[in-house]
Chains A and B, each alone.
Chain A
Amino acid sequence: MEKPFAITLDPGSSLANKTGTWRTMRPVYRDHLPPCNAQCPAGEDIQGWLYPAESGDYEAAWRHLTRDNPFPAIMGRVCYHSCEGACNRGKLDAAVGINSVERFLGDEALKRGWRFEPPAAELLARGKHVLVVGAGPSGMSAAYHLRRLGHAVTVLEAGPAAGGMMRFGIPKYRLPRDVLDAEMARIVAMGVTLKLDTKVFDLAQTMKDGGYDAAFLAVGAHIAKRTFIPAKDGSRILDAVSLLRSMEGADTPETRPMLGRRVVVYGGGNTAIDVARTAKRLGATEAIIVYRRTREKMPAHDFEVEEALEEGVMVKWLSTIKQAGNQLGETALTIEKMALDAHGNPQPTGEYETLEADSLVLALGQDVDLSLLDGVPGLERKDGVVQVDPVTMMTGHPGLFAGGDMVPASRNVTVAVGHGKKAARHIDAWLNGRAAGAAPKHPGATFERLNPWYYSDAPKTLRPQLDLARRTSSFDEVQGGLTEANALFEARRCLSCGNCFECDNCYGVCPDNAVIKLGPGKRFEINYDYCKGCGICAAECPCGAIEMVAEEV
């Protein structure tokens, strides 16, 4: 073949040289479980819903969020957001305000009237009929998820309105009732049957009468725990559950419970705090919490204690109430001072003092009324709650599942919502004659996986709080929401731990052009023909979504 002067070979491209053969390690894209998600009792895919929120697609974010939790506006107000404690960004500057963004999305959904899609016809055709007892967070969560899976769902609720403890236990200044009502109504609108004022006394009979194929029980813990306090006849002693319940619908001063000017609350949980803050709003000049241990040992959440103290609630630490009403009069309480022993347990000291109080509210915890289960075989009860398989939420009786406050777990809304979701998945599996098993989990996205260099500094945005004067004089909501600009900023602070967010770093830093960019939403692929396995892509991935794996020889 004729070639120009001094040319002996045809020109060729280096693409003929497959340098991938040099490789001993190969990069692999993996999704990891971010710590927020790992921590969430409701199993929310937090990084997953923050991602569309970052680009301002709030509806997509809300739809993604509600795949796991149908109550974002409620959660954005009452959830104790343990996700933020786990957030990797906390190690850089401050945790992402996940809860604030969740509330923003929830409020946005209410404002714009977003609704849940009803289940598809072919799903409904295969669906069975499931009974849910109790329209609290757990029951309504289960109803929602069961409905989405195509089942006919009937919720029987003993109270006059849906919401359970969210309505009868959480004060309005934390959860406005229009928000609660709206999120409950949205589930009913999916085709869930809700029957109010319908208490189930005999479950076996109810199941038979209704022809239900399975049942989820979430009756909550509505019975106040008592402790024996010697009291004179005139002493005014109430329990926290009844007090908070009597606040519901009590919109005028005449209908509100009478507590007097000096109110003492006995207990150290969140309910005690709720009661003391409610008492302040009802006009008490003094609201004093008596708790037998120290602040560090208090089960109530720290930020709630802080808000209560701001509002003028006082706390007597290391104190117990020995007697209500004494020789000084019916309004006096006898308090005994306590001291912590080596194990951190309070021990009596024999030192007494007197505390004047117009009323005493006991906030010592709650029990479950399990009488509806009488006569149901196979159930195991222990410590006043029903035992369930922690993976499936099924009780000892086949087809009977339970969750929320009536099973052994932390008693809060998010845990209850998580129970509802988990139970729904396993009820569906059980009805279809298969075992669902535990949901598979990705490996954890620890802080060590991240390359935080790439994240610029961005301090957290705080939510506005109601002025103190208005807080203690009204039941207006204490915590405000974020504006859209703030919510967007906050969403974009997410580091996307362990999940590719398409920053193009791998595509850019590969010295061998061996990363293929697949386009928006499709992430990347490695071209193993040319990847030499240097590992720069993995080292420089901001979110740690690439792993180096040894080549098999």
Chain B
Amino acid sequence: MHQPVKFYQTGTFTVGNRLLAPEQRSVQASTERSNSLNSGHRACQGCGEALGARYAVDAAMRATGNQLIAANATGCLEVFSTPYPETSWQLPWIHSLFGNAAAVGTGIAAALKVKAIKAGAEHSPVRVIAQGGDGGTTDIGFGCLSGMFERNDDVLYLCYDNEAYMNTGVQRSSATPPAARTATTMAVGAHPGAEFGQGKNLPLIAMAHEIPYVATATVADLRDLEAKVEKAMSIHGARYLHILVPCPLGWGAASHDTIRLARLARETGIFPVFEAEHGEVTAVTKIRRHVPVEEYLRPQKRFAHLFSGNGHPETIARIQADADRNIRRFKLLDEAQQEA
């Protein structure tokens, strides 16, 4: 999926590269990109979700020749992009409820299937995505999503995970990491922040449905993200892509640190980046420069209580242990790196 990295100009980590052949360039490097989520949207400065959504949908647009329909759950993404009657979306886009984006996507896919069969084709050329934040996906929309997986409906579900209900004022969701402060898991008491051992790991749950394709990605690795969307669009059936999108407001981080934090989440092992097909992990993105979790936690105010006063070294150690577990479980480090 990645081109071999030899040196920066022709095996690049950057968005573009003047020395690459056009077919090797990223969608985002192209002036022809569809800008599916257009300027003028009302997301906060440095919004990771706006970035992740444009990356993913632009890639899907290119993969389908712009024959794409999007269903959207309620959440930041819907609120900041579509205050009636204005819209930022550059594709057919439908919003219904907080919890039913997967079901709406499924319905559209079913209608397209009927139209295709009537036209004598196996598949419609028009494809469907459904998208939402972590709250609308892991909590409120979970039943619809699980149904979509279970029926193997021909929809790519994109979850933009910013690890809490940011739209309504930063409340804990089942994707909020342990020890993070939110409006409902405040930094008070003996165990400040969200509890350890709660929450859901939706990529693993999706894998348990044995659907054709499950993957995770971050906004810090555009080429990886685009390649995964492209692969997902080459498959028919239920597909799930979980994208980590830092939220400057909810995480209490500088707006310019959005991509850096996503990168650190990956490089610490806190957010494993991998692909799975039919329930089996088939590829992982290795950590390039391994860093301790503290480097990821420190710039975020939602973890500030771990460092104030006498600090909570035992909590940081638990988070580090979680990251180390991911590294073991998904084999995120090369053997040479592990020794080093």
Q: Which residues does A use to contact B, with CB under 8 Å?
A: 9-19, 22, 54-55, 453-456, 458, 489, 492-493, 495, 501-505, 507-509, 511-514, 517, 519-520, 527, 529-530, 532-536, 538-540, 542, 548
Pair A535/B256 contact, Cβ less than 8 Å? yes
Bound CA span A532–B256, Å: 11
Q: Which residues does B use to contact A, with CB under 8 Å?
A: 5-19, 26, 28-29, 31, 35, 37-48, 50-51, 54, 81, 84-88, 222, 248, 254-260, 263, 289
Q: Kindly report which residue of chain A lies nearest to residue B41, judged by CB atoms.
A: A14
Contacting residues, chain A, for B7 (C-beta < 8 A): 456, 458, 489, 492-493
Pair A455/B8 contact, Cβ less than 8 Å? yes
| A interface majority secondary structure | loop
Bound CA span A12–B248, Å: 28
Q: A16-B40, A535-B256, A536-B255 are in contact. Are A507 and B16 (CB under 8 A)?
A: yes
Contacting residues, chain A, for B42 (C-beta < 8 A): 14, 17, 19
Pair A456/B13 contact, Cβ less than 8 Å? yes
**Residue in contact with B16 in the complex, picked from A493, A503, A538, CB distance below 8 Å:** A503
Q: A12-B86, A534-B255, A536-B259 are in contact. Are A503 and B39 (CB under 8 A)?
A: no
Q: A10-B85, A13-B40 are in contact. Are A504 and B14 (CB under 8 A)?
A: yes
Bound CA span A440–B305, Å: 49
**B225 vs chain A, min Cβ distance (A):** 11
Q: A508-B28, A511-B46, A535-B255 are in contact. Are A19 and B41 (CB under 8 A)?
A: yes
**A78 vs chain B, min Cβ distance (A):** 28
Pair B15/A15 contact, Cβ less than 8 Å? no
Q: Kindly report which residue of chain B lies nearest to residue A491, judged by CB atoms.
A: B9
**A435 vs chain B, min Cβ distance (A):** 40
Pair A503/B17 contact, Cβ less than 8 Å? yes
Q: Kindly report which residue of chain B lies nearest to residue A529, judged by CB atoms.
A: B39
Contacting residues, chain A, for B54 (C-beta < 8 A): 511, 513
Bound CA span A430–B54, Å: 58
Contacting residues, chain B, for A517 (C-beta < 8 A): 31
Q: A489-B7, A539-B257 are in contact. Are A508 and B39 (CB under 8 A)?
A: no
Bound CA span A517–B81, Å: 23
**B251 vs chain A, min Cβ distance (A):** 14
Pair B14/A542 contact, Cβ less than 8 Å? yes
**A322 vs chain B, min Cβ distance (A):** 56
**A518 vs chain B, min Cβ distance (A):** 9
Pair A520/B5 contact, Cβ less than 8 Å? no
Q: Kindly report which residue of chain B lies nearest to residue A455, judged by CB atoms.
A: B8
Report which residue of A11, A456, A492, A519 has the largest number of chain B beta carbons within 10 angstroms of its beta carbon: A456
**Residue in contact with B12 in the complex, picked from A14, A456, A534, CB distance below 8 Å:** A456
Contacting residues, chain A, for B51 (C-beta < 8 A): 509, 511, 536
Bound CA span A520–B17, Å: 10
Contacting residues, chain B, for A19 (C-beta < 8 A): 39-42
Contacting residues, chain A, for B15 (C-beta < 8 A): 503-505, 507-509
- Identify 17 residue pairs between A and B in the complex whose beta-carbon atoms are under 8 Å apart, listed by A's number: A11-B87, A12-B86, A14-B38, A15-B40, A17-B40, A17-B86, A454-B12, A492-B9, A504-B26, A505-B16, A511-B47, A511-B51, A513-B38, A530-B40, A539-B260, A540-B260, A542-B8
Bound CA span A530–B15, Å: 21
Q: Kindly report which residue of chain A lies nearest to residue B90, judged by CB atoms.
A: A13
Bound CA span A505–B48, Å: 15
Bound CA span A11–B93, Å: 13
Bound CA span A539–B43, Å: 19
**B9 vs chain A, min Cβ distance (A):** 4
Bound CA span A458–B13, Å: 13
Contacting residues, chain B, for A10 (C-beta < 8 A): 85
Pair A534/B17 contact, Cβ less than 8 Å? no
- Across the A-B interface, the 3 shortest Cβ-Cβ residue pairs: A504-B16, A508-B15, A535-B256
**Residue in contact with A527 in the complex, picked from B39, B44, B85, B289, CB distance below 8 Å:** B39
Bound CA span A530–B7, Å: 34
Pair B18/A55 contact, Cβ less than 8 Å? yes
Pair A513/B18 contact, Cβ less than 8 Å? no
Contacting residues, chain B, for A13 (C-beta < 8 A): 38, 40, 86-88
Pair A456/B260 contact, Cβ less than 8 Å? no
**A107 vs chain B, min Cβ distance (A):** 22
Q: A13-B86, A508-B29, A517-B31 are in contact. Are A456 and B5 (CB under 8 A)?
A: yes
